[in-house]
Amino acid sequence: MTLPNRLEIKNLSLSRGGRQLLRDLSFSLNPGEWLHLQGDNGIGKTSLLRVICSLAPLDEGEVLWRGQNIHEDLPLYLKDIFFVGHKLALKEELTAFENLAIECALMGVPAKDLDLKQALDHFGLKGREHVPLGILSQGQKRRVALAKLKLARAPLWVLDEPLVALDSHTVELFTQLLGQHLTSAGMVILTSHQPIQLSGLGRVLMLSR
Amino acid sequence: MKAFTAILKRDLRVAMHRKVEVLSGLFFYLVVATLFPLAIGSDLDILRRIAPGILWVGALLSSMLTLGRLFEADWQDGSLEQLVLTPHNLSLLVFAKIISHWTLCGLPLVILAPVLGLMFDLPIEFVLVLMGTLLIGTPILSCLGAIASALTLGLRGGGVLISLLVLPLFVPVLVFGSGAVESLAAGLGSQAYFSILMAMLMPAVFFSPWACATALRVAFE
């Protein structure tokens, strides 16, 4: 029997470079819920996201997905998460279209050209699909990175500062997309220094020393 | 398999836009091979004798020159993070990167070998053996170099560390690679050298992607 999607952080403690960042942190996330991590720079928001993505080790505690430690069946867990980090993971030499096509192949998502085009259109990149990323602005590059979300099939989205360099219209498009994802029983965990207006069940987790 | 071809195509396509980086290894190989005859003189007997060694040392150094970039660009732009986070077998994706490295940095050396061989007045059968050893030997260099590149990822002075790590591993490849031509010149045949090189290639191809994938995961932690 497959258990329902549920992310659970249990008694997590985390330190970096000999400094304790988080101690005994616990929370959970169910389908349709979002969590906005906030806190000062260097408080451990990105480190926490990296632990959730299995990219970084933790000192104590565990991360559970569907009631199971994520490291017990990592490939299965990785199918269910989608991470957009500080770095955009895009190749400047390639076009937005090519970057998305590669991302789809890596995600194992069968996407047609039209799907890729629509994803880019959603973020206002119509007419810029076949332009090398190197000549796009920072905001436009960020839009290409966020267009990946439109194609992602994973239920859990982990987003590290997704709003950096975005204009207000794109922020609106982005929140719309998050709303759609949450409505379809998706889950979102993100960090941002900007306030985000999201529908659905959500909460802000303020990390402090 | 789709992810494997996507990475392979992506790396080759990106390299087409970074021609200077790709050509620097090849140019270095050419310079090394060209300078030796100028320095040593035009005695054809000497040139014929030292040619395999020079061409193999050139190939080895040229390969080392380009190893640092194998994972570095992906590490810098966050692509490597995404590779680690895909549900696909990371070893397979790393293998695609190793193949692209060899296609861009090893294969051109093999193709250039006949031209340089003629420059050293090597007979055609010697040139063919040299090409054969390079064809088997340069993938070994890419495989072993990839492990060192993954182990030193994100470290300051990683380039120097790569050299220190790979040089002892490259030496047997160099010895048997250049030795094949010398053995042929001595009338002993080169079959045994090819067999030894193949025996080195097989485990390198098999274990290197796995070792790289492990090293990359450690680098992220």
A30-74: pLDDT as tens digits = 999 999 998 888 888 899 999 999 988 888 999 999 999 999 989
- Give the residue-averaged pLDDT of A136-145: 91
> pTM of the full predicted structure?
0.90
Beta pairing, strands A19-29 & A187-191: unpaired
Helices (H), A71-158: 74-80, 96-107, 113-122, 138-151
β-pair partners for B105: none
Torsion of CA A126, A131, A133, A135, to 10 degrees: -110
Residue pair A149/A168 in contact by the 8 Å Cβ criterion:
no
Helices (H), chain B: 2-17, 19-40, 44-67, 69-77, 79-84, 90-101, 107-119, 124-151, 158-185, 191-220
Shortest Cα–Cα distance, B61 to chain A (Å):
27
Work out the percent of chain B whose per-residue pLDDT is above 70. 100
Residue pair B149/B70 in contact by the 8 Å Cβ criterion:
yes
Q: What is the reported pLDDT for A124?
A: 86
Task: Tell me the pLDDT band of B42, cut-offs 50, 70 and 90.
Answer: confident
Task: Tell me the pLDDT band of A112, cut-offs 50, 70 and 90.
Answer: confident
Contact (CB<8Å) A89/B81 = yes
> Has residue A1 got a pLDDT over 70?
no
Contact (CB<8Å) A55/B5 = no
Contact (CB<8Å) B81/A103 = no
With an 8 Å Cβ cutoff, is A17 touching chain B? no
Q: What is the reported pLDDT for B95?
A: 96
